[in-house]
Amino acid sequence: MSVESALRALRLEPEFMRNVARWVHVPARSARYAPFPANLDPRLVEAMVTRGINQLYSHQAEAVVAGLSGEHVAVVTRRPAQDALLQPIGPERLLADPTARALYLFRQRRWHRTSWRSYIPGRNDWESGRVREWQKRQLHVLTHSPSPRLSSPLPPTTATLLPQRPKIRDSARVVLSNPDMLHAGILPQHPRWAAFFANLDAVVVDEMHVYRGVFGSHVANVLRRLRRVCRFYGSEPQFFLTSATIANPDALAERLVEAPVTVIGSERDGAPQGTKEILFYNPPLLDPGLGIRRSSSLEASDLSTHFLAHDVQTIVSPACG
């Protein structure tokens, strides 16, 4: 039993194939690698090698080169490559300037704190308690969620309580937050964050593709306010954006940032890819005259049962508008 046998059985089923509008085979693709850019901080290279990262995917190296040259960068590739992609750029900017600050914006509570800290080079003993304490002082998470449904317990080391915010404003070099907190808790209090904004050097915006429609307009205005406040305090941060594959990444990125953006698109993605079979399937017609089809939920249930009968791990996802 396997995915291949399950697909072969579907191809031999006339009633199923009658409803398949198109069946696309996407072949596997090997990874394409590139060496670390020559001007990347050696301490950062050492940190990545310590984690077992001896080279970058080709699109990662291309994005890092663009970032190090001062360009705004948007990376539009599949995960998991993009999550780690911009990790080296933030620490690089902080290593180059001991006063620089960085702001990471995630749309949800997805704080990659452990991963991020592992890129912060220590002194001589990478894993010593003294170095871990130094790392802890560099990174703080400040979050705000207006909806109770989004609320969830955060790790006890996360700085979210009001008494801790002065410490964050004065000492944190990296703040992980979300657009809600930036809008409601940081920008309205910008005089208290003056030192942070005056030295803000890099802003990373995760999952750019979700900032569309009315919500996207709100986030774009928040980013405009952020850039205006930064200019008031004398800084011009560089923006780094990541996204899943979308049709118009350059237009969306430039609307969000209001500046030219270098886009590293999916056609330059160097991450490996397994074989894919993509099926466009129409549920069978129940009433041709009225155009009524069988429920897509029932069809999905039947298909998932078929794959489970072939011992294939299966995920059924609701349709997205």
Sequence ranges of the domains in the chain: 3-27+285-309, 33-268
Q: Exposed, middle or buried, 209 (CB in 10 Å: 0-12/13-18/19+)? A: middle
Q: How far apart are CA 85 and CA 79, in angstroms?
A: 10
Q: Say if CB 10 and CB 50 are below 8 A apart.
A: no
Multiple choice CATH, 33-268, 3.60.15.10, 3.30.1300.10, 3.40.50.300, 2.30.30.140: 3.40.50.300
What predicted TM-score, i.e. pTM, was given to this entire model? 0.76
Segments of the chain with pLDDT less than 70: 1, 79-90, 108-165, 319-321
β partners of residue 177: 105
3-state helix, strand, coil in the chain (%, to 5): 45, 20, 40
Provide CB contacts within 8 A for 153, sequence distance 6+: none
> What residue ranges in 144-269 does DSSP mark as E strands?
174-177, 200-205, 238-243, 261-264
Q: What's the CA gap between 153 and 156, in Å, rounded?
A: 9
pLDDT score recorded for residue 319: 61
Q: What tens digit of pLDDT does each residue of 48-79 get?
A: 888 888 988 898 899 889 988 999 999 988 76
Per-residue pLDDT at 261: 95
Q: Say if residues 174 and 93 touch (Cβ distance below 8 Å).
A: no
